Every structure is written in structure tokens, then in C-alpha cells.
């Protein structure tokens, strides 16, 4: 029996699939002003979903994008302007602030809001270390016996190189700190491992984030993104998703923030879920609580589904991007109530209902992304997507300039479609993508394709 399995058999709230038709907790009649921090597709999806709440009075996004501007009001405050954001929330009597990206969490935005008596969704800095320090995350996994890759943590390059001799190739070299999703190198040879370790530890490629590193064994399998609302020892699993991290079709090319997603994940089943609760979530929430950490927010473990079962690759402490754009269009429950309950430590009052259909999200990116790219390219065809049923166009790197919407980042749009099957959702999403043009646009043509192929093979 895996560690923790017998400890506490019924602690989690398992409101996962479409079948749980439980009523949402009685919502108090007051309305709430909401502030969403961030400017990506994830934040547009959060703003869109939160705006559907009957209690959402007004939505602000800081700094937002050309999509969030259609839902609420964009505020010219950067996501890392913690004092400015807190002052805005206080002055405008914001009832709930939702933090999108990892940086402000790592910088302590939640601690600051808490100190000022402002209600905020996200973990405090000490809990957000699960994402902002891979060494800390590994220590916690070791302590709570959560299955993960065999690894060593190092602050001296000679020791790291010694440890490499114990592993086989490929092996994985990870910067300890936040590195915009670029701090992981899969080294295929000794030379590549030496180069990666030297670049991170001696040449400062990721600044302070890479001065300490994790070296770990390479795990084989397929990845799965879990999104879990956690409030102390209580937690609630959202629908599963699969990201497509590499830039090119067939999973080739450099890693990106994510080029597309599909929900639900095809590599998830009841057995995987049972093991996830027993082997990951129960030991984690118990271990954190016993150590005095009251995690409140969204925990997003990235898993590798190996032949031996789920293994944790990393913990993120915020919603995934683009997973959120695939998950939220399937959520029928009131997200505002859920986030409030999580922030207030009352998660046990809530239940979820889901649209049983599949969601497929295709990311359209600027030419050159994830490397160098240009911005300011006009985006055409957005209006023609409005007429398409069950299609959602989430903006990421966009801004309004002289009356038109132009590109303003690497990932520009995330187009989600729902369908009775992943195949139908996929066809609809690509139909919408075909309507949209901007100079240099590129996107993967194979989002959800493995899933579609597997389903065809199975019938």
C-alpha cells in the first residue's frame, strides 16, 4: 500500500466528472467586485468565467489584454506592482482578487493582501515555494513520500556533475527558481549535461533562479495536468487536461508555455485518480498542514503517467495556461463561489458540475515564439468567430492600438471549442483558427490528435 493510503480514506472532495450534480452552496445575496491580476489567456478565461457569476458586480484586470477589456476594465498596473495592486483593491473595495501568474505569488502578494485585510485567492509566499523552488518541492515530496523522479539538489556544479554519473541519459537538469518555463533542460549526452549545468550555475543563464539546480532521472510516459482547489486539508479536483508544451507538431522543437490543451485528459482513469488522491494529495495536504502551512489556492501538479503509476514532475501554485482555457468552458458551477470558498477556508460547502463535452484549445503564437518575435501586428477575423457555436476566443498577448487589436506577446490567442467528442471539438477549434490571421501567426496542427487517433483505434 502506498504511503498515506490508509491514513485518511475519505478526506478529499471528489467532485470530478460530469456526474456529480450536487447543488452549489447557497450564495449570499451580495455582489462582489473582482480584480484579476495578469494579462494572459488564463486571465481572460478567468475573467470570462467569473463574469458569469450572478454576484459578479464588476471585473477589473491588471493589466489585462484586449480580451479582458471586453469583459471589464483594464487597470494600468503591472502584475508585480504589489503595493499598487493592494492600494487599488482597497480604494475600490474589491471583494476578491484572483492572482493569475506565479511571480506575484512568489513575491508575497497574498501575504500583503492578507495583512491589509483584503480577500485574495492564491497561496501565501511560503506555500507558493512549492512552485518557486524546485528544490523545496523535491524536499517536500521526499518528506511526504510522494512519488517523483529520483533527484539530487545542488549549489555547486562539481557535485551536480558527480551526481550525473549515477543517472542514465537522457537526464533532466532544472533551475531551482522561476525561469519563465525555460529552466528545464533534457540532456541527451554528457556534453549537454555539462553545458546546461555550467550555463545555469556558473554563467548565470537564469540569474539567481539557476544558481541552485535539481538533477533528476528522465521519466517516460504521458503528461497530465491536474488542477486542485486546496484550502488547508480540504481540496477539490477540477477536470483534468493535457498540455502540448513543445513548439512543433509531433512534440518536437523547444518547450513553450503551452501550445494547446485538451480536457478531459485521455490518460486519466479511476485507478489513476484513486492513486493520485492516495499517493499525492492526501500526503501533501496532511504534510503541509502538519508543518503549519495553510495552503489556500490552486495547486496544479504536473504529472507523468508512467508504467509504475503517476509521478509528480512539478507543483504549480496557480491555474495553468492554456489548461485553464480548456477547463473553464466545461465548468458549469459558479467559479466565484468556489474561489471565495477556497480563500475563506470553506471549500467543503461547495460542489461542482461539468459539461460532459470535450474541450480543445489551440494557441496561436507570434512568428518566432518561443524565441524572439515582433509585436504590433494587426489581428483580423476575430469577429467572424463570434458567430461560431461553442467556440471561445481567449486573448493572451493582444492590445488595442488606434482602434484595432494587435499582437502584443508570444502567445497571442487561445481558441477553445467544445464538442461531443474530442474529434468534434478539435475540428471546431481549427475551423475558428482558420478565420483568424495575423502576420507570422503559427500554431500546432496536432492539438488533441493523439487523443483522436486513440479513440478511432479503439472503435
Please, what is the minimum distance in Å from the beta carbon of residue 231 to ligand GLY? 21
Q: Is 10 exposed, middle or buried (0-12, 13-18, 19+ CB in 10 A)?
A: exposed
Q: How distant, in Å, are the alpha carbons of 19, 195, 432 from that of 211? A: 47, 14, 44
CB under 6 A: which stretch of 44-52, 135-143, 159-167, 319-327 binds ligand GLY? 319-327
Q: What angle do CA 139, 265, 352 make, to 5 degrees?
A: 85
CB of 258 to ligand GLY, least distance (A): 3
CB nearer ligand GLY, residue 13 or residue 130 = 130
Please choose, from the candidates 336, 346, 337, 293, the residue with its C-alpha nearest in 3D space to the C-alpha of residue 315: 293
Q: Does residue 317 contact residue 123 with C-beta atoms inside 8 Å?
A: yes
| The three grid cell numbers given for residue 383, joined into one nine-digit string | 469577429
Q: Which of 16, 316, 325, 353 contacts ligand GLY by CB under 6 A?
A: 316
| Residue 370 found at the interface with ligand GLY (CB under 6 A) | no
Q: How far is the CB of 443 from ligand AMP (least distance, A)?
A: 19
Residue 314 binds which entry of ligand GLY, ligand AMP, none, CB below 5-8 Å type-dependent: ligand AMP
Residue 149 binds which of ligand GLY, ligand AMP, none (CB < 5-8 A, kind-dependent): ligand AMP
- Identify the residue whose cell numbers are 503559427: 442
Q: Does 325 bind ligand GLY (CB under 6 A)?
A: no
368: left (phi over 0), alpha (psi -120 to 50) or beta: left
Select 146 or 326, whichever has its Cβ closest to ligand GLY: 326
Interactions with ligand GLY, residue window 194-223 (CB under 6 A): none
Shortest Cβ 79–ligand GLY spacing (Å): 15
Helix, strand, or coil (residue 130): helix
Nearest Cα residue to 343 out of 288, 298, 282, 285: 298
**Least distance (Å) from ligand GLY to the CB of residue 338?**
19
Instruction: Report the distance separating Cα 253 and Cα 250, nearest Å.
Output: 9
Distance CA 105, CA 108 (A): 5
Q: Minimum distance from CB of 302 to ligand GLY (Å)?
A: 7
Residues counted in the chain: 459
DSSP reduced 3-state for 371: coil
From the list ligand AMP, ligand GLY, none, which binds 131 (C-beta under 5 to 8 Å, kind-based)? none
Say whether residue 103 binds ligand GLY (CB under 6 A).
no
Q: Is residue 258 a contact point for ligand GLY (CB under 6 A)?
A: yes
Does 273 interact with ligand GLY (rule: CB under 6 A)?
Answer: no
SS3 of residue 115 by DSSP: helix
Confirm or reject binding of residue 256 to ligand GLY (CB under 6 A).
no
Closest residue to ligand AMP: CB criterion: 314
Chain residues binding ligand AMP by CB under 6 A are 149, 172, 174, 184, 216, 218-219, 223, 245, 302, 313-314
Sign of torsion over alpha carbons 145, 321, 333, 24: positive
Confirm or reject binding of residue 43 to ligand GLY (CB under 6 A): no
Instruction: Say how many Å lie between the first and final Cα of the chain, rounded.
Output: 35
Per-residue cell: 183 = 529552466
Q: Which of 83, 165, 144, 89 has the alpha carbon at shortest distance from 120?
A: 89
Distance (Å, whole) CA 278 – CA 311: 12
**φ and ψ of 99, to 5 deg:** -95, 120
Q: 222 by DSSP, 3-state: which?
A: strand
Site residues for ligand GLY, 1-40, by CB under 6 A, read none
Q: Which does 320 bind (CB under 5 to 8 A by kind): ligand GLY, ligand AMP, none?
A: ligand GLY
Residue from the set 243, 266, 273, 334 that interacts with ligand GLY by CB under 6 A: 243
Looking at 216, 323, 334, 340, which residue binds ligand GLY (CB under 6 A)? 323
Report the candidate in 459, 267, 232 with the shortest Cα–Cα distance to residue 347: 232
Q: In angstroms, what is the minimal distance from the CB of 102 to ligand GLY?
A: 8
Of 216, 321, 334, 340, which one interacts with ligand GLY (CB under 6 A)? 321
Contacted by 216, from ligand AMP, ligand GLY, none: CB < 5 to 8 Å by type = ligand AMP
Range in contact with ligand GLY (rule: CB under 6 A) among 318-326, 343-351, 390-398, 439-447? 318-326
Please identify, using beta-carbon distances, which residue of 89 and 128 lies nearer to ligand GLY.
128
- Give the residue carrying C-alpha cell 450572478: 54
The secondary structure of residue 329, as a DSSP letter, is G
The piece of 120-128, 134-142, 313-321, 332-340 that touches ligand GLY (CB under 6 A) is 313-321
Partner whose footprint covers residue 323, from ligand GLY, ligand AMP, none (CB < 5 to 8 Å by kind): ligand GLY
Residue ranges that bind ligand GLY, judged by CB under 6 A: 243, 257-258, 316, 320-321, 323
Amino acid at each position: 500500500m502506498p504511503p498515506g493510503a490508509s491514513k485518511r480514506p475519505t478526506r478529499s472532495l471528489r467532485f470530478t466528472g460530469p456526474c456529480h450534480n450536487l447543488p452549489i452552496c447557497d450564495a449570499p445575496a451580495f455582489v462582489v467586485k473582482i480584480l484579476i491580476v495578469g494579462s494572459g489567456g488564463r486571465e481572460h478565461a478567468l475573467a470570462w468565467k467569473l463574469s458569469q457569476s450572478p454576484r459578479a458586480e464588476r471585473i477589473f484586470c491588471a493589466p489585462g489584454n484586449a480580451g479582458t477589456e471586453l469583459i471589464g476594465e483594464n487597470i494600468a498596473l503591472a502584475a508585480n506592482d504589489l503595493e499598487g495592486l493592494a492600494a487599488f483593491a482597497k480604494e475600490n473595495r474589491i471583494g476578491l482578487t484572483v492572482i493569475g501568474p506565479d511571480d506575484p505569488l512568489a513575491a508575497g502578494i497574498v501575504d500583503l493582501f492578507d495583512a491589509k485585510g483584503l480577500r485574495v485567492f492564491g497561496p501565501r509566499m511560503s506555500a507558493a515555494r512549492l512552485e518557486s523552488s524546485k528544490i523545496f518541492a523535491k524536499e517536500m515530496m521526499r518528506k511526504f513520500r510522494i512519488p517523483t523522479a529520483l533527484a539530487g539538489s545542488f549549489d555547486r556544479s562539481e557535485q551536480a556533475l558527480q551526481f550525473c554519473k549515477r543517472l542514465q541519459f537522457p537526464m533532466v537538469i532544472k533551475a531551482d527558481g522561476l525561469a519563465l518555463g525555460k529552466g528545464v533542460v533534457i540532456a541527451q549526452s554528457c556534453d549537454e549535461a555539462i553545458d546546461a549545468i555550467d550555463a545555469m550555475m556558473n554563467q548565470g543563464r537564469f540569474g539567481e533562479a539557476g544558481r541552485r539546480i535539481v538533477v533528476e532521472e528522465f521519466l517516460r510516459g504521458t503528461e497530465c495536468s491536474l488542477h486542485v482547489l486546496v484550502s488547508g486539508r480540504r481540496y477539490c479536483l477540477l477536470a483534468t487536461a493535457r498540455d502540448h508544451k513543445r513548439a512543433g507538431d509531433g512534440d518536437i522543437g523547444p518547450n513553450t508555455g503551452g501550445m494547446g490543451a485538451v480536457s478531459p485528459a485521455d490518460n486519466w482513469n479511476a485507478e489513476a485518480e484513486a492513486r493520485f488522491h492516495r499517493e499525492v494529495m492526501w500526503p501533501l495536504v496532511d504534510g503541509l498542514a502538519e508543518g503549519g502551512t495553510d495552503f489556500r489556492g490552486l495547486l496544479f501538479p504536473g504529472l507523468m503517467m508512467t508504467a509504475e503509476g503517476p509521478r509528480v514532475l512539478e507543483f504549480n501554485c496557480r491555474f495553468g495556461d492554456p489548461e485553464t482555457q480548456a477547463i473553464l468552458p466545461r465548468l458549469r458551477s459558479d467559479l466565484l463561489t468556489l474561489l471565495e470558498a477556497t480563500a475563506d477556508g470553506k471549500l467543503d460547502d461547495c460542489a461542482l458540475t461539468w459539461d460532459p463535452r470535450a474541450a480543445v484549445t489551440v494557441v496561436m503564437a507570434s512568428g518566432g515564439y518561443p524565441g524572439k518575435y515582433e509585436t504590433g501586428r494587426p489581428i483580423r477575423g476575430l469577429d467572424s468567430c463570434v458567430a461560431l457555436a461553442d467556440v471561445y476566443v481567449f486573448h493572451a498577448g493582444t492590445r488595442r492600438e488606434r482602434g484595432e487589436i494587435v499582437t502584443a506577446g508570444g502567445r497571442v490567442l487561445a481558441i477553445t471549442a467544445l464538442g461531443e467528442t474530442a474529434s468534434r471539438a478539435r475540428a471546431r477549434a481549427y475551423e475558428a483558427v482558420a478565420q483568424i490571421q495575423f502576420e507570422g501567426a503559427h500554431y500546432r496542427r496536432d492539438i488533441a490528435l493523439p487523443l483522436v487517433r486513440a479513440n478511432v483505434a479503439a472503435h
